[in-house]
Structure 1
Amino acid sequence: MFSRTERDLVRRRLLDLADHDPAVVAAAITGSHATDDEDRWSDIDLAFAVSEPLDAVMHRWTRHLYRDFAAVHHWDLPSGPAIYRVFLLPQGLEVDLAFSPEGDFGPRGPKWRLVFGRSAPPQPVMPGGYDVIAGLAWHHALHARISIERGRYWQAEHWISALRTQTIALACQRLRHPTSYAKGAHLLPPTITGPLETTLVRSLEETELRRALSAAVAALSAELTRTDPTLADRLRPILSDLAASDDDPREG
């Protein structure tokens, strides 16, 4: 794995490259390094405002990353007008470069430190939609049960794990912790994480999948009761049915 020294050197080289690129009119450090929360395992997160078409600038920077930094692979994540190009460097160092049109360059959250150039005023951060998270949770519970009935046990394991992820997100949102990618999961109290341990799928046996789904549905119901008792009451009959054992195959 990469060292702190190697990571910091790569970051300085990238910022120097940006400073000498006439198409990059502003740059910012984002992520944990911007707020001094970086640890030994943090990756590199940078954002660039560009005055030329994004495709051309990103193509040029991609050549730099492969030629000068020995990049192994990359992929893109669009986000509004920006595109995050995510690179994997040797020794497992991840480099996330966000390219934005000049007029759309600005912070989308607190983890932002302008290095040079100008940025737009901070944009209000919209909280994650509770209904979306809750909706994904019951959706995943439903599809986990259907997958079991169809005998698609790997798919069932996928949906049970995805259900647990949404339950964690609901708890994190309620307690004002980060909700994405389980970033706030380690901050949850044992009273929440303890029952979630029982939702882990230990094998692909049908009885085990049914047990794990029942535990996952119980954890979801408990969290819904804490956050939205009205919704919990409406969903309870359906969730109880999904958690119940039923040997009759279903179609659909």
Structure 2
Amino acid sequence: MDTEKYLNKKRFANNIYVIIAAIDESNSCSIFGKAQCLQKEKVSNQCAVFVENRVTFCSATTHILNVVYNTKKMYSKKARIEVQKQIIDFAKLDSNIIDCAIVGSESVGNDDKWSDIDLTFGYENDADVNQILRDWSKMMSEIFDANKLFDISYQESLYRVFLLPNALQVDLSFTPSEHFGAITDNFKLIFGNQRKREFKSLPEINFIAGYTILFALKTRTSTEREKYWQAEYYLAKCRENTMILKCLKENLNSFDGRSFDELTPNFLKQIQNTLINEPTKRNLENGLKSMIQILIKELSTVDNLNYKFIKELKIIGK
């Protein structure tokens, strides 16, 4: 898609960008709120109208929407909603995009002030996804001054993560239309269709348990080698995996620690005892002993583990 064909931007003032997009052919444009005409700013001899945090430009074939963001402070919920709306509008203009859905917390009404943007798109099966990514990256850069953080692939989908100057994270994923659909319960279709898709599976409990035990061992050996910062790294990984293990036992969402705060106060108090304020030999030894006590207790109450490694953990913790 040629972004120049559909989109242009004009700076009306500091931190105000206007997107000109031919998004429909109606002869009217709804203006909400008390409007003030900015007579000094003209586009194609038509007048821009400022409405709170939006600049709307009314014409027979064009609507102009904008995003106002202050690069000196973090984004607001209102700014996030505006950015998301304009990205979806852009998707409607891209002939390669035929499906769109909101994923993440907003799709189920659990978003808050600090939520990011999670959108997923289905593209024509014969389209060049690399060209789509180039077009969308160009749009995100030119319109929102966003920069790419990284790419991730999962199943048939490609994810590109952007960061705006106001620290708003935007996650966009692209999937061939024949595979477009939900992989978790967090999925709200905006346009197009979804297909049945294999749900993203939870971590396998034996896998998590095995890695947690390994991290405990690495904490001990790194401490003995007097590599205290490396030992602190492994202790933190052991703590994280123990909390994931607890979430799996309690049927809570362990992904990115989303349900860590829902774990019982007693368990969290025990975990707190494994935190250290300085990576010294004594602190690391005490932290590891506390960590192993918790881990032994958690492993002993998991029925479907291949092997519980209780004896080995006690040796590591001596």
Q: TM-score range by the shorter chain?
A: over 0.9
Q: Is 1:235–2:235 an aligned residue pair?
A: no
More strand by percentage:
2
Matches within 5 A, 1:202-217: 202-217=277-292
When normalised by structure 1's length, the TM-score is: 0.92
Q: Deviations over 1:12-35 (max 9, x none)?
A: 000000011001111100001100
Q: 1:224 touches 1:231 (CA, 8 Å); kept in 2?
A: no
The range that moved more, 5-14 or 112-121, is 112-121
Q: How far 1:124 moved relative to its partner?
A: 3.9
Q: Deviations over 1:173-229 (max 9, x none)?
A: 111110121111111111211100011122111111111111111111111122239
Alignment partner, residue 11 of structure 1: 84
Q: How far 1:167 moved relative to its partner?
A: 0.6
Q: Is 1:2–2:78 an aligned residue pair?
A: no
Q: Distance in 2 between matches of 1:213 and 1:153?
A: 12
Q: Distance in 2 between matches of 1:46 and 1:99?
A: 9
Q: Is 1:113–2:193 an aligned residue pair?
A: no
Q: Distance in 2 between matches of 1:238 and 1:229?
A: 19
* Bigger Rg, structure 1 or 2: 2
Match of 1:74 among 119, 131, 149: 149
Alignment partner, residue 250 of structure 1: none
Output the amino acid matched with 1:191.
N
Relative contact order: is structure 1 or structure 2 higher (C-alpha 8 Å, sep ≥ 6)? 1
Output the amino acid matched with 1:241.
I
The range that moved more, 33-42 or 114-123, is 114-123
Alignment partner, residue 19 of structure 2: none
Matches within 5 A, 1:89-238: 89-228=164-303, 234-238=308-312
Q: 2:179 touches 2:197 (CA, 8 Å); kept in 1?
A: no
Match of 1:59 among 125, 128, 134: 134
Q: Distance in 2 between matches of 1:92 and 1:77?
A: 20
Output the amino acid matched with 2:310.
R
Taking a change above 3 Å as real, the CA distance of residues 230 and 42 of structure 1, as seen in their structure-2 partners, is: closer
Match of 2:111 among 38, 46, 52: 38
Q: Deviations over 1:48-100 (max 9, x none)?
A: 11121211101110111111111134211111111110101121100000111
SS of aligned partner of 2:301: helix
Output the amino acid matched with 1:211.
N
Q: Distance in 1 between matches of 2:105 and 2:150?
A: 21
Q: 2:182 touches 2:199 (CA, 8 Å); kept in 1?
A: no
Alignment partner, residue 248 of structure 1: none
More helix by percentage:
1
Q: Distance in 2 between matches of 1:229 and 1:195?
A: 24
In the alignment of these two chains, the number of paired residues is 243
Q: How far 1:127 moved relative to its partner?
A: 3.0
- Identical amino acids, percent of aligned pairs: 29
Structure 1 vs Structure 2 CA RMSD: 1.5
| Deviant stretches of 4+, over 6 Å | none
Output the amino acid matched with 2:119.
L
Output the amino acid matched with 1:115.
I
Q: How far 1:230 moved relative to its partner?
A: 6.7
Q: Deviations over 1:152-191 (max 9, x none)?
A: 1111111100011111011111111101211111111112
Q: Distance in 2 between matches of 1:158 and 1:66?
A: 35
SS of aligned partner of 1:142: helix
SS of aligned partner of 1:228: coil
Q: 2:206 touches 2:305 (CA, 8 Å); kept in 1?
A: no
Q: Distance in 2 between matches of 1:56 and 1:72?
A: 17
Q: Distance in 2 between matches of 1:114 and 1:15?
A: 12
Q: Is 1:29–2:102 an aligned residue pair?
A: yes
Q: Distance in 1 between matches of 2:305 and 2:230?
A: 31
Q: 1:109 touches 1:122 (CA, 8 Å); kept in 2?
A: no
